[in-house]
Amino acid sequence: MILPGFFLTDTMRVSVWGGKEKIMKLLTKDTDYAVRALIVLALDKKKFVSARKISDTQDIPYQYLRQILKKLISSKLIDSREGIGGGVQLVADPAGITILELINIFQGELELSDCMFKKQECPKRGSCVLRPEIKRIEETVCTEFQKITIKDLLKKLGG
C-alpha cells in the first residue's frame, strides 16, 4: 500500500511582486519521506523491514531513503540490523514521535521568514512591525505540528 504524501501536497500559493505565484512548502520531501517510512515501520510493529521494501511500497528512491533512514537511526527513532531478516525497525513509541520532531531533524527550526536581505540579516529586523506577527504564526504552526504524532496518522489510515 502506497501511503499518500502527507505534506508535499499541502502547499500555500503566495502571490509575489509582479503577479507571479510562488509555492511555499512547510515541509520538505525529506520530512514527508520520513513520515511515510515511520508509518510503514509502525504498521509492521516489532519487525525488521528492509529499506528496499519501504522504497518499493512507498515509491521512494532507494538511495534517497537510505539517507533518510540513517538520520532516523542517529535520532534513535529506529534501529537497524544487517543480514538475513535484517532491515530497520521502529524503536520509538509512535505516540511520542511528533511531526515537529521530524521537521527539526530534517529541516531544522521551522521559520516562515528568515528576515534575510541579500544573504545578510535584515538591518530592520529589530524594529520590524511584521516580525512579531510572523513569530506568532510560527509558534502556532509549531504548536499544531507538535500535536500530530505518527500514531495519530496511523489512526487516520485505519491502522
Instruction: Give the tens place of pLDDT for each residue, 18-71.
Output: 555 556 678 899 999 999 999 999 998 889 999 999 999 999 999 999 999 999
Residue 3 lies in a domain: no
Does 1 have pLDDT greater than 70?
A: no
Q: How many distinct structural domains can be found in the chain?
A: 1
Residue type, 56: D
| 9: helix, strand or coil | coil
Domain around 107: 11-157
Residue 49 lies in a domain: yes
Residue 4 lies in a domain: no
* Average pLDDT value for the chain: 84
Residue 2 lies in a domain: no
Instruction: Give the domain CATH number at 101.
Output: 1.10.10.10
Residue 143 lies in a domain: yes
Decide if 40 contacts 50 (C-beta within 8 A).
Answer: no
| pTM attached to this predicted model | 0.80
The string of pLDDT tens digits covering residues 76-89 is 999 999 999 899 99
Q: How far apart are CA 154 and CA 128, in angstroms?
A: 42
CA distances from residue 115 to 5, 19, 38, 139 in whole angstroms, order as listed: 30, 22, 33, 16
